[in-house]
Structure 1
Amino acid sequence: MINLDDGNLISQAVNQEGVYHAEVRKSTNGPKKVLLDGEECKYVIFADTNKGYLIRHKTTIDGRAVTVGNEPVFEILFGKVEVTFDGMANKTK
Structure 2
Amino acid sequence: MPTCDSHQLHELLDSVPDTHEIVVRRHDEDDVLRAAWESARDDALDAWLRWTRVATRESWAVYVAARDREDAAVAAMSAGLGV
TM above 0.5, yes or no, is no
Kindly indicate which of the two structures has a greater share of residues assigned to strand: 1
Please give the TM-score of this superposition, normalised by the length of structure 1.
Answer: 0.27
Please give the TM-score of this superposition, normalised by the length of structure 2.
Answer: 0.29
